[in-house]
Amino acid sequence: MKNLYIAEKPSVAREFAKALKINGGSKNGYIESEDSVVTWCVGHLVTMSYPEVYDPALKKWSVETLPFLPEEFKYEVIEGVSKQFDIVKGLLNREDVGCIYICTDSGREGEYIYRLVDQMAQVPDTKQKKRVWIDSQTEEEILRGIREAKDMHEYDNLSDSAYLRAKEDYLMGINFSRILTLKYSYPVKTYLNKDRCVISVGRVMTCVLGMIVRREREIRQFVKTPFYRVIGNIALADGTFEAEWKAVEGSRCYNSPLLYKENGFKEEKDAKALIEQLSADMHVTIDKVEKKKENKNAPLLYNLAELQNDCSRLFKISPDQTLQVVQELYEKKMVTYPRTDARVLSTAVSKEIYKNISGLRNIPAMKEFAQHILDSGSYKGIAKTRYVNDKQITDHYAIIPTGQGLNAFGGLHDTAKKVYEVIVRRFLSIFYPPAVYQKLGLTLDRGGEKLFANFKVLVDPGYLPITNYSFGKQKDKEDEEGKYSKEMVEAAMQLKKGIQLSVNGFDIKEGETSPPKRYSSGTLILAMENAGQLIEDEELRAHIKGSGIGTSATRAEIIKKLVNNKYLDLNKKTQIITPTLMGEMIHDVVAFSIQSLLNPELTASWEKGLSYVAEGSITKEEYMEKLEKFIRQRTDAVKGLNNQYQLRAYFDYAAQFYKKPTTKKKTKK
């Protein structure tokens, strides 16, 4: 009997054949030797059928046929890949095939791809089916995955969640898009001077659209507020340092209505009045000195969202482009599986991590760092650090370099080389000590009013040298070294309570409140990961628990779809995302009809529910019951609405910020 190995793509199948030393002839759609056969899908071979397959009458959209909730779902082979499906079907059902090794991507979508094929090909359960789960495409990892392959049915819960995710997107997309189009397409298309308009909505993409529109409206409605800060220029060591006045307890201005906040006045005249008071004596006395050392650890490793955010910021490429690049690196065996949410390593991997480090000695820019790690043995204690945590890993650990496949490095395009460098430097940094800063805080007293100054000096760079990318230094934002001279800092460190210092003068620094920032493609990915909140602090993000909006495998595609639908604009140079007029109008239609689709927390809860199914905490039947109830209630509610006329005012509000749609000219026949 022969073993059959089925991969997701031809390129992956070739890697399996190579690892297994299958030297048999390559045939049309598969590779075969005396004891093994390797074949492949080409992504999805099977898809869900359209409603008209259930009933031809459903091809016409009508309110009466909604909601559409079939008791049993129908599937069909995708027309363009039917030839490969027939090849795969024939191989799966061959009598001389005894064991089937499922080698599709190790994740929910890869599981779904094979299960659909297995279902459509009607592969008998008498055949042994084993699931191969790998984190990279190196020969060593492929052979380990085959050796440790588990029975397919151990992944049934994951399969259930995959089917449910597809059914959820299918049912919400069909029912909500049809009912909203039937009810609201006329006011939208007439306003935009279009011949037709399909209102396309979905569980994830409509929620993301809502995030963008809300942010844009927050920016529009924001009113800048000026404020005025008082800064003292304090003499020290042949120079001056800045100390900022604050209205802390004991100040004559404490809790004053004249203040914008404790360090700023609403009006310049009040700041000038304070300076006049302070200038009566041009000396200050040191009231308090606080010294402490602060360690800054290397950041956690990359998951896909973090990598997409950094690549958007550093290279101005979209999340979709980042995923394409890192997928290419994965298929060249250079990095581990990219579609991961984890930012840590597993205990098992940490025990063998020296192999990954050793291979990086062949990269000139990384050679010195990798060699130092190996010589110092710093990798040996990594399992006891925050960078290793089995509880924070579901399907895959973080994206790291394998240390292999480096013969392909020279052939990479420029962006791929840079993305690989970013991954490598982040990986190596975790084996270095933290950067150490000496912090000094001074509280200065002038007649009961307090001024505050802070110094922060880098004492030990620790891991920071590794972050100096070849394409430009990654400046540590917290490194204030260079703001003051070495002599100034040394003098400041010697200051003690009670010492009196001279004031060279006081200045007013005018500032103004800033509106929220627009999302970039990268920060939007992070906001999706954190259920609609843009959490820029990396440490805080690391502690956020629970599912976000969409998954690491789907977020980039969702953004791309919204752009292709012309609901969002993506500036390719800056990667800044803004809504289009149509996008705002679709948002308002949803807000008037199925507002819950715009709720990030609710959308994230659906994703969390799918993870519960994958864990076995709830059954697929329980989830499906909840889903059908949600769709039925929302669809029936829209049927009863009669509020189209109210939308005109909202459309008018949005339209004032866009170029007015032009009326179509009739062409002469």
Q: What are phi and psi of 105, to 5 degrees?
A: -50, 140
Identify the sign of the CA torsion 308, 313, 318, 324.
negative
Identify the CATH class of 2-148. Answer: alpha beta
- Pick from 321, 352, 320, 315: which is nearest to 336 by CA? 352
Q: What is the DSSP string of 128-189?
A: EEEE---SS-SHHHHHHHHHTPEEGGGGHHHHHHHHHHHHHHHHHHHHHHHHHHHHHHHHHH
Identify the sign of the CA torsion 164, 168, 169, 174.
positive
CA distance 474 to 468: 5
| CA distances from residue 109 to 82, 295, 305 in whole angstroms, order as listed | 20, 41, 17
Helices then strands, counting H and E runs in the chain, come out as 22, 21
CA distance 322 to 419: 8
CA atoms within 13 A on the CB side of 233: 9
pLDDT for residue 27:
79
Look-up of token digits 């000139």: 364
pLDDT for residue 543:
47
pLDDT for residue 536:
61
CA distance 444 to 497: 9
Distance between alpha carbon 642 and the CA centroid of its chain, in Å? Answer: 39
CA distance 358 to 361: 6
Q: Which regions of the chain are under pLDDT 50?
A: 476-479, 543-544, 666, 669
Identify the CATH class of 226-297+435-512. Answer: mainly beta
Q: What pairing do the DSSP bridges indicate for beta strands 449-460 and 435-446?
A: antiparallel
CATH superfamily of 314-429: Topoisomerase I, domain 4 (1.10.290.10)
pLDDT for residue 669:
45
Listed in order, the ranges of the chain carrying CATH 1.10.460.10 are 163-221+517-655
Three-state secondary-structure class, residue 116: helix
CA atoms within 13 A on the CB side of 506: 22
Q: Answer yes or no: are the C-beta atoms of 612 and 554 closer than 8 Å.
A: no
Verify whether residue 54 is a known catalytic residue: no
Task: State the maximum Cα–Cα separation within the chain, in Å, rounded to a whole number.
Answer: 100
Where in 237-303 does DSSP place strands (E)?
Answer: 239-246, 259-261, 264-265, 283-296
pLDDT for residue 626:
96
pLDDT for residue 214:
96
pLDDT for residue 535:
57
CATH fold group of domain 163-221+517-655: Topoisomerase I; domain 2 (1.10.460)
- Give the count of beta carbons closer than 10 Å to the beta carbon of residue 656: 9
Three-state secondary-structure class, residue 382: helix
Ramachandran sector of residue 356 (left: φ over 0; alpha: ψ -120 to 50; beta: rest)? alpha
| CA distances from residue 528 to 495, 531, 590, 599, 604 in whole angstroms, order as listed | 47, 5, 19, 12, 9
Active-site pick, 337, 432, 463, 519: 337
Identify the sign of the CA torsion 563, 567, 571, 574.
negative
- Pick from 551, 523, 547: which is nearest to 537 by CA? 523
Q: Answer yes or no: are the C-beta atoms of 248 and 450 closer than 8 Å.
A: yes
Listed in order, the ranges of the chain carrying CATH 1.10.290.10 are 314-429
Look-up of token digits 């073993």: 3
pTM: 0.89
| Secondary structure in 3-state letters for 514-549 | CCCCCCEHHHHHHHHHCCCCCCCCHHHHHHCCCCCC
Listed in order, the ranges of the chain carrying CATH 2.70.20.10 are 226-297+435-512
Q: Answer yes or no: are the C-beta atoms of 289 and 497 closer than 8 Å.
A: yes
Q: What pairing do the DSSP bridges indicate for beta strands 259-261 and 264-265?
A: antiparallel
Q: Answer yes or no: are the C-beta atoms of 631 and 171 closer than 8 Å.
A: yes
Q: Answer yes or no: are the C-beta atoms of 480 and 457 closer than 8 Å.
A: yes
Q: Answer yes or no: are the C-beta atoms of 357 and 431 closer than 8 Å.
A: yes
